[in-house]
Structure 1
């Protein structure tokens, strides 16, 4: 079972094709891992092992006939709870939402089904996806498999926990300020936020992206051929592409790399993280890249403006809920949102305007560099039951200063493991590329992974 769980997606698909492994055997291995680890980490929602067995059986029959539906046929996959799957309620992580079955698959779910993926569960998220935490008023508390006293991050909390715990090779999260990259950094995964519109989402929102969270760069890249197919429901969806997502050929000689160690505001980068990022940057410099330190793209005014805008927007989303339903929202989130009621229309527009300022500063920086390296997360970890690294609703976004600008500028960015803290917890390196050059980010990530060998030992459930 352990050997199957260690297979990359390309190797797993090759094993299906050669009939050395069947989709049912792979599912049995995943199901066994979930049975031993899920009581500790609580990563899943709407877990359907019986349905997964049926899907794996159908996939096995297709492979036996040499007629798979697509490149992910038989690959166990989870989707973040916010990504709708037909017939399953979307609670948005909160007890305040009425549980109504979704009428249709969201674009990502539709593409995965078209290609035969075994979607066996949704993964947990905090209330409305508004926290970098596994804390939710609806889901059980999700925990970090590396240390269950610690937080997996969020809002793609369950996806990160599931990936690190070995619940199959592919987990899809969403990201509006770092919600794929932040939890990937805290759990050792590769988390990829592509260029805005590369993976269609529905509902659309400013800065909202979706992306794969995997143990290997190759697995995320492999999945992009499926995930990046356009969908009319996302008006920002990019045209069909003929990218070779597995073309990792790259010579970094002469590449201009900027290293950002100061986010401009928010939580300061802890020394262990700073050292790990600098060590990663030296690897690129040794390979011939031109590495220089660069200043921040974010300011206090920008982050505070975003806070004002998001509070106003979120209050507008929940103010019409009956009082008894609003009271079920996680208190931290509700306390933060309440102040949105006092935001004027002018203030909200001014706050939104700061997203444009972020876009400008990011664009200006990329006139001088080809790539940016930075920490993904400024801190090593925080307790599992905290709502955020500050646990303070008056300082809710202090930890996203390295990640959120690239959502607003719509640029591709990834988090990849670049070491471990003295306490044994993963440290994430963020790699940011120019808008639409998703392949550059993937190639740099794969190169770095090849240099380091990637994460060599993943968490195991008790008794294993």
Structure 2
């Protein structure tokens, strides 16, 4: 029974259509997986198996009539806890946040329900989504299924862990600097940061997107066909485009692909990570793509400026809280943003201006290339108890060098597994596409999926 929890969303929908499987038995299998693994993994918030069972029964009845609601009817899903779901509180991973039930589904949750997805739970995140870590002042420490002493990454920490552990096939996170791709890379799953505005969200913000986290590129594409449906609440969304999400075949011959191994700032890329990414690039070259090295194009000034702006943005919110509430925030986060208390207007503005600098640098780097390949992160995962790979609140962004510029530029990018360390931890490959070319990124990722060596079995936590 528990093996049903490992089936892809694409396979589940086919099985429901042919009446080989029922959403009820699949949901029971996923619940059994969660109940066995979650005491060690701590990936979930607001887990509601009773409600999931009711939704699965309703889906079973729709499939029996041949009347599914949408593309993912009956497929188990988790949603990151900062994406509002009606009736559930949104703690933002922080003990200082009041537990007030949301009055409506945010756009990704609304599209998921409308398409028949079976919502099992929300997934955990660190305080305010400000860490690439499973550490939180509100949730229990989330861990990496590949090694419980390792970090799943973040801020979509629970989503990455849940996807790798087989808590059903579809999960959704959010990403403003790497928060989908980093945990995807560290947990060995597929994580897509769509083009800015491709998936409506609420509230929108510069660089912030919601994106699927799954075990296969096809499942990510299937979920994108649902999540990309329009919603007027997102004032920064793109005009809706009926894209061929499930058309994933492509010939790689003649594609010009840049290989980016030095970001220009941040942690040095480890030898194991560099070798894995180079091997991936060679597979593309063997398939007929033209691979050319790209030098560093980001600067310390860019990331330090963005750091200042994000500190100021965080402090503006937190400074309004009472001292008692401030004391409940994860100390790492509070110590980081409190440094903005005396920033001048010039310091904040020049920091904000680095968003444009990053955008322009990445657009220039992509000029003449169809895609860029890079590590998702410079290193593999790190200790579960740490807040970041360097665990220093005054050096918070050394690990996001390859991911953050893609948020500022708005391009689509995906992370998927390209190898393992000597200790068995996954290594992520990032594929960056031209602006709005979400389909191209998915197709290139699917091509790599078919070319890469056989993957290791998924971890069993229980």
TM-score of Structure 1 vs Structure 2, range by shorter chain: over 0.9
CA contact (8 A) 2:280 2:452 kept: no
The alpha carbon displacement at 1:92 in A equals 0.5
CA contact (8 A) 1:216 1:454 kept: no
Q: Separation in 1 of the partners of 2:430 and 2:52?
A: 34
- Which residue is 2:371 aligned to? 371
- Which residue is 1:142 aligned to? 142
3-state SS of paired residue (1:102)? coil
- Which residue is 1:130 aligned to? 130
CA contact (8 A) 1:261 1:375 kept: yes
Q: How does 1:29-428 map to 2 (within 5 A)?
A: 29-428=29-428
- Which residue is 2:432 aligned to? 432
3-state SS of paired residue (1:249)? coil
Deviations 1:381-426 (A, max 9, x none): 2100000001000100000000000000000000010010000000
Q: Separation in 1 of the partners of 2:438 and 2:452?
A: 21
3-state SS of paired residue (1:24)? helix
Q: Separation in 2 of the partners of 1:454 and 1:41?
A: 26
Q: Separation in 2 of the partners of 1:388 and 1:273?
A: 18
Q: Separation in 2 of the partners of 1:211 and 1:296?
A: 27
The alpha carbon displacement at 1:5 in A equals 2.1
Q: Superposition RMSD on alpha carbons, in Å? A: 0.9
Q: Separation in 2 of the partners of 1:203 and 1:297?
A: 31
The alpha carbon displacement at 1:297 in A equals 2.8
3-state SS of paired residue (1:339)? helix
Consecutive aligned runs of 4 or more in structure 1 exceeding 6 Å deviation: none
Q: Separation in 2 of the partners of 1:134 and 1:411?
A: 26
The alpha carbon displacement at 1:266 in A equals 0.3
The alpha carbon displacement at 1:314 in A equals 0.6
Q: Separation in 2 of the partners of 1:189 and 1:430?
A: 12
Q: Separation in 1 of the partners of 2:86 and 2:427?
A: 36
Q: Separation in 2 of the partners of 1:437 and 1:411?
A: 8
Q: Separation in 1 of the partners of 2:201 and 2:346?
A: 29
The alpha carbon displacement at 1:170 in A equals 0.3
- Which residue is 1:448 aligned to? 448
CA contact (8 A) 1:315 1:338 kept: yes
CA contact (8 A) 2:411 2:434 kept: yes
Q: Separation in 2 of the partners of 1:225 and 1:454?
A: 28
CA contact (8 A) 2:184 2:416 kept: yes
The alpha carbon displacement at 1:68 in A equals 0.8
Deviations 1:245-281 (A, max 9, x none): 0111211111111000001000000000000000000
Q: Separation in 2 of the partners of 1:342 and 1:449?
A: 49
Cα 1:459/1:401, change in 2 over 3 Å? same
Cα 1:456/1:423, change in 2 over 3 Å? closer
The alpha carbon displacement at 1:368 in A equals 2.3
Q: Separation in 2 of the partners of 1:369 and 1:244?
A: 23
3-state SS of paired residue (2:406)? helix
Gaps of 5+ in 1: none
The alpha carbon displacement at 1:456 in A equals 4.0
CA contact (8 A) 2:2 2:32 kept: no
TM-score, L = length of structure 2? 0.99
The alpha carbon displacement at 1:454 in A equals 5.7
CA contact (8 A) 2:15 2:21 kept: yes
Gaps of 5+ in 2: none
TM-score, L = length of structure 1? 0.98
CA contact (8 A) 1:417 1:454 kept: no
Q: Separation in 1 of the partners of 2:113 and 2:206?
A: 26
The alpha carbon displacement at 1:216 in A equals 0.4
Range with greater deviation from structure 2 (188-197 or 447-456): 447-456
Q: Separation in 2 of the partners of 1:408 and 1:297?
A: 14
3-state SS of paired residue (1:450)? helix
CA contact (8 A) 1:79 1:159 kept: yes
Q: Separation in 1 of the partners of 2:5 and 2:120?
A: 15
Q: Across the two proteins, how many residue pairs are aligned to each other?
A: 462
The alpha carbon displacement at 1:453 in A equals 5.6
3-state SS of paired residue (1:111)? helix
CA contact (8 A) 2:90 2:99 kept: yes
Deviations 1:188-229 (A, max 9, x none): 000000100000111111100110000000000011110001
CA contact (8 A) 1:189 1:216 kept: yes
